[in-house]
Structure 1
Amino acid sequence: MSRAPDALLTPDFRAAPYWWDGVPRPALPETALPARADAVVIGSGYTGLSAALQLARGGRHTVVLDAADAGWGCSTRNGGQVSTGLKPGFADLAPLHGAERAFAMVKEGHHALAFTEDFIRSEKIECCWERVGRFIGAHNAKSYDKLARRVAHQAKGLEVEAHILPRAEQRREIGTDAYFGGAVYPAHAALDPALYHQGMLARVQAAGASVIAPCAAQAIERDGQGFKLRTARGTITARDVLVATNGYTDGVSPDLRRRVIPIGSYIIATEPLDPALAGRLIPKARVVSDTRRVIFYYRLSPDRRCLLFGGRVATRETDPVLTAPMLHAEMAALFPELAHTRLSHSWAGFVAYTFDTMPHLGQRDGIWYAMGYCGAGVALAGYFGMRVGQQMLGRKEGRTALDGMSFPTRPLYSGDPWFLGPALVWKRLLDRLPV
């Protein structure tokens, strides 16, 4: 894999998230690690901050720790696309959990989107929130037929507004002929993920919680009725501990690490486009994804000036500067007008998949957790962080349809997804076939 040619990059190119230009990594006040707290939250992304906000406003002395800067992980690295759902649908979940519980599970995804919008509005967070809708492009004819059936046969009570768009009409939504038609979901949304995180962080601090970063949690040990955490800055004891590290779960919790699969997702941002060109590419400024097993997702920036284009193009984790020309080639295959457009940013972040493609929250050996959003974490992380925070407070409104689910792993898996490369090769092969 070769480095991106200089002609492909702008003079001020940055191997860092596009969002960080407007929202630099926060400079937190110097805070000494207290000897004890009511609750310690490990991870300062959407999950951890949402839980911490519940805990702090509920009167708990709360400390949030992060190994890097606050929000350094995927909470400020994602594409800012906000959807309604869990990965599995009702038809997938009903045989496993029964119709009633499957219905409630799918509803949790709907609640997550509604929660995100209500939270942003009630907390007055300026983060470029828009209900722009989503276009899902069918990468072949069979995928289009599957999309059409999915839209036409939604389970009663779980309907989401959607309509099918045949190939002959798709340029109303997207300036390419590469797809075989698609589906439009008007309720899906977009935001600036770093501004959203910054707003959440400010409210957590205002509620009285301490956010200490960088301060890596290194080990969790039982200490009577609570826990003792060894960190890079010393030791802290707490009654409750929440692990909210998602795709960045490490050795501080080996048990949870072996239940999530960290998968790197890579994104590029173009230099500013001519406004007329941007308007032709995505006329209604929808967020876009496709039906491939190894999907691409993209959108215009909130100011409609740049195209942000993401996906998985490497079989193993690598430098995002090396993946930039590969993503650029995929982008240009969809939009030939961008063949000579330069890139201003290229970056990566880790999402966490699970073996059952479901998010999980609850307790294991007394330690709380919420993680495994399978690429849909902008809405799910904040929502389930809020719910697990309520559960830690003992509040009945924290109950979810996912409570009590087993959190599966696989024999011999310890958190290093050695199988990911072969699986991606196989899925890409399937994506090239008319199946």
Structure 2
Amino acid sequence: MKTTPYWWDSAPLARIEPGALPARADCVVIGSGYTGLQAALPVARAGRSVVILDKGMPGEGCSTRNGGQISHSIKPGLAELRRRHGPDIAAGIHAEGTASMAYLAEFIRTEGIDCAYRLCGRFDGAATPRAFRAMQARADGEKIRLVPRERQREELGTDVYHGGIVHTGYASLDPGKYHAGLLAAVRAAGAELHPATPVQTMQEGPDGVTLTTPRGTITARDVVVATNGYTPDAAGWHRRRVIPIGSYVIATEQLSPDLIAELFPTDRMICDSRRVIYYYRASPDGTRVLFGGRTSAGETGAKPAAARLKSEMCQIFPQLAGVGISHSWMGYVAFTFDKLAHTGRRGNIHHAMGYCGSGVGMASYLGMKMGLRVLGDPAGDTAMMRTDFPTRPLYTGDPWFLPAAVTTYRMLDRLGL
């Protein structure tokens, strides 16, 4: 069993040797995932000097470790957003979720990125009858279509759920190939990439923002913090506002086309209604099952995670009991205390982060918006800037409370509450 992402088999990480770090740049981007690269692209194409720093290889974080599901990424419902922020901001945030999906689809098309993008929809299974009743209230028959339990087998080869809903506008892709295509576009635009260059300190002064690294110091007019679940101590204000949570994924060995067709008759993305969710799909080439989620209260290793995820997978698909696991890996997503992504700036330090486990579309979209704001383009404005970015007293970025929270959520899931 490999302990590297399945996606790396067909899209290996780019091995870039770090060159000499320049003393200055117009823009320094910290992080080379979807957010950072999307921010760098318009700035570099506008002719400004862009330097991208990463503590690892480009895309080594969750941008090449996720499940490849594309949704609107807005966790709170419209009614909850209205209660929190009023009708105008709520409507704006809701619209940005739809805009993020449209942006990503158009970007992939215009850039010609071959990453198995498909508008396939997503089926959300109701773990309890109570969850199905809540789904009934949300279904509109068009964007969200109700699937009663007696028709569930048309969507998924299991009887474990109590029906569900289909989000018809959701999509899928190969996250490794998407990142590789995005990275190629950024390199072609002239941005410099410096892997293995973690940022140790960051200080804004009259001459710009100065960043220190083990390989030297660089000063920039603008800095983009695009680190999400990997935010370092150097960005302490941001680190105190995101909660890094490990998400674990396995890939099965190759399966027969008939079995894949039985399990995924519509080839959609799959999720469920539990608080501690599982997400899964067939691989883009239709040969494997990719199954992900949270495996334990605390973080764990690839081997125990694989065993636990397989057990959960076989609860849903008993047909897979004798199947081997070829890959097991994990990545850190970043949740926020209000379950919303946030973007904005403090001085000349810009940020976008906190995608709450649904970042493929929103990270791309907010990264692009952030790049436009660095250029002073009014098109970089977004409703996601209209809310405060909350933290909690005594929180410094280490989620000490996570094991207790996960245990509580699992108990509520088991009780059907």
Bin of the TM-score, shorter chain as denominator length: over 0.9
1:165 equivalent in structure 2: 147
Partner SS, residue 308 of structure 1? strand
1:294 pairs with one of 244, 258, 276: 276
Structure 2 contact 71–361 (Cα < 8 Å) conserved: yes
Instruction: Tell me whether 1:267 sits opposite 2:255 in the alignment.
Output: no
Q: Can you list the C-alpha shifts for 1:214-272, whole angstroms capped at 9, x where unaligned?
A: 21111111231411110121111111111100000011111110100000000000000
Instruction: Tell me whether 1:22 sits opposite 2:22 in the alignment.
Output: no
Distance in 1 of aligned mates of 2:61 and 2:352: 15
1:60 equivalent in structure 2: 48
Structure 1 contact 108–400 (Cα < 8 Å) conserved: yes
Matches within 5 A, 1:27-46: 27-46=15-34
After TM superposition, give the deviation of residue 365 of structure 1 in Å. 4.2
Instruction: Tell me whether 1:390 sits opposite 2:380 in the alignment.
Output: no
Structure 2 contact 138–144 (Cα < 8 Å) conserved: no
Distance in 2 of aligned mates of 1:30 and 1:293: 42
1:126 equivalent in structure 2: 114
1:189 pairs with one of 171, 185, 191: 171
Structure 1 contact 85–106 (Cα < 8 Å) conserved: no
Distance in 1 of aligned mates of 2:361 and 2:164: 23
Partner SS, residue 184 of structure 1? strand
Partner SS, residue 52 of structure 1? helix
Q: In structure 1, give the amino acid aligned to 2:265.
A: P
Instruction: Tell me whether 1:367 sits opposite 2:355 in the alignment.
Output: no
Partner SS, residue 425 of structure 1? helix
Q: In structure 1, give the amino acid aligned to 2:230.
A: Y
1:309 equivalent in structure 2: 291
2:302 pairs with one of 320, 323, 334: 320
Q: Can you list the C-alpha shifts for 1:160-183, whole angstroms capped at 9, x where unaligned?
A: 612101101100000000000000
What is the root-mean-square deviation of aligned Cα atoms in Å? Answer: 1.1
1:69 equivalent in structure 2: 57
1:234 equivalent in structure 2: 216
After TM superposition, give the deviation of residue 344 of structure 1 in Å. 0.1
Matches within 5 A, 1:337-352: 337-352=319-334
Distance in 1 of aligned mates of 2:318 and 2:18: 50
Structure 2 contact 73–359 (Cα < 8 Å) conserved: no
Structure 1 contact 70–214 (Cα < 8 Å) conserved: no
1:332 equivalent in structure 2: 314
Distance in 1 of aligned mates of 2:267 and 2:42: 34
Q: Can you list the C-alpha shifts for 1:321-341, whole angstroms capped at 9, x where unaligned?
A: 221100000000000010110
Q: In structure 1, give the amino acid aligned to 2:283.
A: S
Q: Can you list the C-alpha shifts for 1:86-129, whole angstroms capped at 9, x where unaligned?
A: 11121110011111221111000000000000000000000010
After TM superposition, give the deviation of residue 317 of structure 1 in Å. 1.0
Instruction: Tell me whether 1:213 sits opposite 2:201 in the alignment.
Output: no
TM-score (norm 1): 0.94
Structure 2 contact 251–290 (Cα < 8 Å) conserved: yes
Partner SS, residue 217 of structure 1? coil
Distance in 2 of aligned mates of 1:140 and 1:239: 53
1:94 equivalent in structure 2: 82
Distance in 2 of aligned mates of 1:402 and 1:135: 27
Partner SS, residue 367 of structure 2? helix
1:141 pairs with one of 113, 121, 129: 129
Partner SS, residue 14 of structure 1? coil
The runs of at least 4 consecutive aligned structure 1 residues that moved more than 3 Å come to none
Structure 1 contact 129–191 (Cα < 8 Å) conserved: yes
1:416 equivalent in structure 2: 398
1:355 equivalent in structure 2: 337
Distance in 2 of aligned mates of 1:58 and 1:109: 27
Distance in 1 of aligned mates of 2:330 and 2:416: 30
1:8 equivalent in structure 2: none
Distance in 1 of aligned mates of 2:142 and 2:350: 32
Partner SS, residue 308 of structure 2? helix
Q: In structure 1, give the amino acid aligned to 2:372.
A: Q
Q: Can you list the C-alpha shifts for 1:191-233, whole angstroms capped at 9, x where unaligned?
A: 0001000000000010011011121111111231411110121
After TM superposition, give the deviation of residue 85 of structure 1 in Å. 3.3
Partner SS, residue 279 of structure 1? helix
Partner SS, residue 175 of structure 1? coil
Distance in 2 of aligned mates of 1:335 and 1:260: 34
Corresponding residue pairs, total: 417
TM-score (norm 2): 0.98
Q: Can you list the C-alpha shifts for 1:358-379, whole angstroms capped at 9, x where unaligned?
A: 1111112431111000011000
Q: In structure 2, give the amino acid aligned to 1:300.
A: A
After TM superposition, give the deviation of residue 29 of structure 1 in Å. 4.7
Distance in 1 of aligned mates of 2:305 and 2:97: 32
Segment drifting more, 109-118 vs 215-224: 215-224
1:9 equivalent in structure 2: none
1:5 equivalent in structure 2: none
Q: Can you list the C-alpha shifts for 1:277-311, whole angstroms capped at 9, x where unaligned?
A: 11000111100000000000000000010000000
| Shift in alpha-carbon separation, 1:114–1:160, aligned structure 2, 3 A | farther
Q: In structure 1, give the amino acid aligned to 2:263.
A: L
Structure 1 contact 294–428 (Cα < 8 Å) conserved: yes
Q: Among all aligned residue pairs of Structure 1 and Structure 2, give the percentage whose two residues are the same amino acid.
A: 50
Distance in 2 of aligned mates of 1:160 and 1:335: 28
